[in-house]
Amino acid sequence: MVPDQRIHEHPAASAAWLRDARAARSLSVATLAWLGVESTLGLAAGLAAHSVALIGWGLAALVEAAASLIVVWRFTGARTLSPSAEITARRAVALSFWLLAPYLVIHVAHDLDHGHRAVPSVLGIVVTSFSLVSMPVLGLVKRRLGARLASAATSGEGTQNLICAIMAAGVLAGLWLNTLGWWWVDPAVAVALAAVAVREGKRAWHGDNCCH
């Protein structure tokens, strides 16, 4: 087997693959740092404004942080070149999707049962607006890295970042649409995202890292 063929069959042997692996890890570390801030501020804003929507969004950030932590673990030390580490990581990311899905549904059921509606909060609007802008960029970059690394774990984390952005958009839209009487939009988006989370968890479990 010639060297070029060996690198092609084993992408981890290439310098480009290793650079992408380091980039994936660095992005996940940065995401972890932001999610810590996002969750703290989201919970603070939600409690101050008595907004269950914001509280739920802040708690969901903790589930998303688990995916980032998994990718950091995946590309640290000897695990970087370990196929078994990728299998473990992608299945762990799949489980984080499956934790997110029931949480969203239970959260919606709780809101409907107690008649909660999204309420304005300056801090909440600022934090969710930042996530709405930053998370799609992070998510798309990670999904592209995941495709190049053949890492469903990395792609799955990117998808969770995209879901976070949609949830942020849902919170912001809910604040506005609630003033028009369209209170049902926010729970409808949450239920749709739960279905997406189940599907993406299944894809991550089976190692499907194609971009959609």
212 residues of the chain, pLDDT tens digit each: 444 443 444 455 688 999 999 999 999 999 999 999 888 888 887 777 666 667 777 777 887 898 999 999 999 999 999 989 999 999 999 998 888 788 778 877 877 776 666 666 677 788 889 989 999 999 999 999 999 999 999 999 999 899 888 888 877 887 777 677 777 776 777 788 788 888 888 888 887 654 44
Report if pTM > 0.85: no
The boundaries of the domain holding residue 91 are 3-205
Domain tally, the chain:
1
Establish if 211 belongs to a structural domain: no
CATH, residue 42: 1.20.1510
Establish if 187 belongs to a structural domain: yes
Establish if 210 belongs to a structural domain: no
| 45: amino acid identity, one letter | A
Establish if 212 belongs to a structural domain: no
Establish if 60 belongs to a structural domain: yes
Establish if 114 belongs to a structural domain: yes
Establish if 133 belongs to a structural domain: yes
Establish if 171 belongs to a structural domain: yes
- SS3 letters for the chain? CCHHHHHHHCHHHCHHHHHHHHHHHHHHHHHHHHHHHHHHHHHHHHHHHCCHHHHHHHHHHHHHHHHHHHHHHHCCHHHHHCHHHHHHHHHHHHHHHHHHHHHHHHHHHHHHHHCCCCCCCHHHHHHHHHHHHHHHHHHHHHHHHHHHHCCHHHHHHHHHHHHHHHHHHHHHHHHHHHHHCCCCHHHHHHHHHHHHHHHHHHHHHCCCCCCC
